[in-house]
Amino acid sequence: MEYKLIPILRYSSFVLLFLAITAQADAADLVPNYDYPDQQIKLFDVRNPLVLSCNVKRDGDYELSWTKDGVDVSKVESLKSRYNIIKEEHKFIIDRALESDAGLYTCSVKSLGESSEIRVIANVAVKLPSNSPVVEGEKLTITCIVVGTDPELSWRVGNETYSESEGRIILQEDATSKIKNSVLIIESATLDDRNEYVCEARNKASDLRNISVQSATYVRVKGKLAALWPFIGICAEVFVLCAIILIYEKRRNKTDLEESDTDQSPDQEKLKK
């Protein structure tokens, strides 16, 4: 019985091996330009070109079709008049990609019955103003401008890192972008709040690239009376100027009076005699 099973097992092994090789050969017929092939991921920078391509390994003239999130790209409202397909090179191009262009793209060759998926992810980027001045006792608000696919934000103040509100540090989502922790608030700033504030962002793309994406701003806290010093200085200058004018006018009047006393006409001299 064992001898009869051996040929069958060998035949089954050859069949499975043939099917595996055939499947690999078919899969290799359509090869996208992945940045990370093992995860079928393509990365792009917002406001820069996004170029997707699917190379067809088989000989022949094959036409590709493209979909985004299961919808033909020609029917995606956000893509209208923004993309270009180069049939000869099997490329799909967006000249100025937006954050919303991220998603699951599929290139297909209907005549071969083959398709490949491409997970497109936008690299994360953040921006803060170089300086953030605030007056002592007033509300400090710093908004971190961020773009990218599904970003996660945290803040570093000095040597402390905040991923949620803690103590006087309040973290909120921006009303426009709806991104969590993109706004840092201190209700009443003190002189001790002078420091470097860093917005740090991460997402799937930054994790794959093993990079840290951050932007820094320096918070300058002015004392309550700091705004009055220029006004006081101007008032002092005006006072000194007025005093100089008064003294000058007083001396000039005194000089004119003395000259009028000494400069008498001949008739006045005769009357005195």
| Domain CATH number, residue 108 | 2.60.40.10
Spacing of C-alpha 68 from chain mean position: 25
Residue 88 lies in a domain: yes
Q: What is the dihedral of CA 70, 76, 81, 87, to 10 degrees?
A: 20
Residue 1 lies in a domain: no
Q: Say what the pLDDT of residue 268 is.
A: 52
Residue 180 lies in a domain: yes
Domain count, the chain: 2
The closest of 125, 28, 118, 33 to 73, measured between CA atoms, is: 118
Distance CA 205, CA 120 (A): 10
Q: Say what the pLDDT of residue 18 is.
A: 44
Residue 115 lies in a domain: yes
The verdict on 65 and 110 lying in the same domain is yes
Task: Give the tens place of pLDDT for each residue, 74-90.
Answer: 999 999 999 999 999 99
Structure-block tokens of residue 103: 């998603």
Residue 34 lies in a domain: yes
Can you tell me whether residue 104 is helix, strand or coil? strand
Give the residue with greater pLDDT, 228 vs 93: 93
The verdict on 79 and 143 lying in the same domain is no
Alpha helix positions (H), 55-214: 204-209
Is the Cβ–Cβ distance between 154 and 181 less than 8 Å? yes
Residue 171 lies in a domain: yes
Q: For the whole model, what pTM was predicted?
A: 0.72
Q: Which structural domain, as residue segments, surrounds residue 105? A: 30-122
